[in-house]
Structure 1
Amino acid sequence: MRAIRILSAALLTLGLAAAPAAADSSPSPEASGDSGGPTRAGTSFRTATEVEQGQTATARASTGDYLYWSFPADAGQRPTVRATVKLPEGHAAETWQVDVYDGLRRRQACQYGAQTRTAGPGTASVELACVLRTVRAWSEPWADDPLPGTYYVRLTALKLSADDLGQPVDAELRVESADMGGAAAVDGSLSEPLVPGIASRPEAEGDDDSPSAVLAGLEPEDGWTSGWWSDRWVWTAAGGALAALAGVFGYRLTRGPGRPRHVPPGA
């Protein structure tokens, strides 16, 4: 009975340890917080407007423009990109598409979501979504897995009539991520996140005013992770403890009742 009580206590401990891991699979709290995002969009990769996850970026543009934003994504996150385009009145059929690229400008496939949609004549708006694969801490050089670093979003119209070209539109972009936890952990990590230089600014110190290249200014709130720690270490330790307790319990079951104490003759 004592071994059963010990085993029950271990299972309770494992449940308490797993509770934070289960909570991590929900969208991050920042996703529903600050909505004061930027009010413009870039026109190329180099001029992409930075937006933090959980912010809503807006931009006024014209049909036919290419709109670019960038955001940081870290290992273990599964980003979801959502874009909404408010169309002008009296427009013809238009097809819009949102694409996501990593720091190496490799186009990343969407797991699911309406990445391309056609808005019929007179439709007020069109909504697009792209759920990326989980960002990995490390990958083979030949693979195209999502890796930690800067990601680019491109929003544009693929098909539209000549009369609609140049018509004003309003675009909104929002990026949220779900933390996938130790289930997405891998052995290994990048030495540096894929954050390319995309801007320039004058040196703060020095005699000359020549601009110097700088990296993207945004990064995850807690900084870039090292890639070696994940909650799977908790599961591994708890599993090892349960295996040891199960061995003790099994030994007590197979041992049988204790031998009677030897009583000397004539005692």
Structure 2
Amino acid sequence: MRITRVLGGALLALGLAAGPATADSSPSASPSGDGAAPTSAGTSFRTAVEVEQGQTATASASTGDYLYWSFPADSGQRPTVKATVKLPQAHLAQTWQIDVYDGLRRRQACQYGAQTRTAAQDAAAVELACVLRTVRAWSEPWANDPLPGTYYVRLTAVGLKAADLGQPVSAELRVDSKDIGGAAAVDGSLAKPLVPGIAVKSAAEDEDASATAVLSSIEPDDGWASGWWSDRWVWTAIGAILAALAGIGGYTLTRGSRRPRHVPPPPGA
């Protein structure tokens, strides 16, 4: 009976512990109602237009232009960048490409997705997608792993012919993320996210709170490193509880009976 009560209490504790992990495993990106979605794009890294995850940004441009947006990505997230380019009614075959760079302007490889696609002649639109690797909380200095911070998206047409230069196009961009959870957890974290100008801001706050020089002001809803909780903690707790139950069960089975053995009386007593 004692083991049954202990096992029942352990299962109840596991249910309570698994609750936050289940809620945390849902996609982290949701549409933000804080502001309207951007309707323009930048022309360089420094003028990239900030986009929150879950928003659909739009922009009007001409073929041959470089369109830049930026978005924040925190540790444990796997961002998916999707772009749709609406082409003019009459055009030649065009090849469009989407590239993603981190806060250090290192080009990040796509796990999968149509990063480059050629639109057939007179096609109405072309759709591109790039699923990045999971953002890590820490990495070796020589590695090219995605790290928390600002990410830049560049959309442009490559190999255009002179007849297609300058034609009007419209583009849509959307970024969503999936929370990977404890499977992507690492032992370490960055002192600061890779946000351009954040070191300048930290120094300015010590001298004058009104002096800020951050080139990217957008950040996750819960702040940076908001994904410190993951199901890795739950599985650690489950392992500890199972080990304790195994120890209790083994001790109960091997300790034997505490009742004194019956000793027969001596002869003639």
TM bracket, shorter-chain basis: 0.7 to 0.9
Question: How many equivalent residue pairs?
Answer: 254
In 1, are the aligned partners of 2:31 and 2:54 still within 8 Å (CA)? yes
Q: CA deviation at 1:237?
A: 2.3
Distance 1:193 1:158, change over 3 A: same
Q: CA deviation at 1:215?
A: 3.3
Correspondence 1:1-267 to 2 at 5 A: 1-28=1-28, 30-31=30-31, 36-197=36-197, 213-225=213-225, 229-256=229-256, 258-262=257-261
Name which of structure 1's ranges 88-97 and 12-21 shifts more when overlaid on structure 2.
12-21
In 2, are the aligned partners of 1:42 and 1:68 still within 8 Å (CA)? yes
Alignment correspondent of 2:202: none
Q: CA deviation at 1:230?
A: 3.8
One-letter code of the match for 1:69? Answer: W
One-letter code of the match for 1:118? Answer: T
In 2, are the aligned partners of 1:31 and 1:177 still within 8 Å (CA)? no
Distance 1:230 1:25, change over 3 A: closer
Q: CA deviation at 1:253?
A: 2.7
In 2, are the aligned partners of 1:35 and 1:55 still within 8 Å (CA)? no
Q: Give me the whole-angstrom Cα distance separating, in 1, the residues matched to 2:29 and 2:63.
A: 34
Q: CA deviation at 1:65?
A: 0.6
Q: CA deviation at 1:112?
A: 0.9
Q: CA deviation at 1:139?
A: 0.6
One-letter code of the match for 1:234? Answer: V
Q: TM-score, normalised by structure 1?
A: 0.86
Name which of structure 1's ranges 164-173 and 9-18 shifts more when overlaid on structure 2.
9-18
- SS of the equivalent of 1:38 reads coil
Structure with a larger share of its residues in strand: 1
Name which of structure 1's ranges 189-198 and 62-71 shifts more when overlaid on structure 2.
189-198
Q: CA deviation at 1:264?
A: 7.0
In 2, are the aligned partners of 1:73 and 1:79 still within 8 Å (CA)? yes
Give the root-mean-square deviation of aligned CA atoms: 2.6
Q: CA deviation at 1:4?
A: 4.1
Q: Percent identity?
A: 76
Q: TM-score, normalised by structure 2?
A: 0.85
Q: CA deviation at 1:32?
A: 8.0
- SS of the equivalent of 2:13 reads helix
In 2, are the aligned partners of 1:59 and 1:171 still within 8 Å (CA)? yes
Unaligned regions of 5+ residues in structure 2, if any? 199-210
Alignment correspondent of 2:201: none
Unaligned regions of 5+ residues in structure 1, if any? 199-210
- SS of the equivalent of 1:238 reads helix
Name which of structure 1's ranges 115-124 and 11-20 shifts more when overlaid on structure 2.
11-20
Q: CA deviation at 1:236?
A: 1.3
Structure with a larger share of its residues in helix: 2
One-letter code of the match for 1:116? Answer: T
In 1, are the aligned partners of 2:134 and 2:180 still within 8 Å (CA)? yes
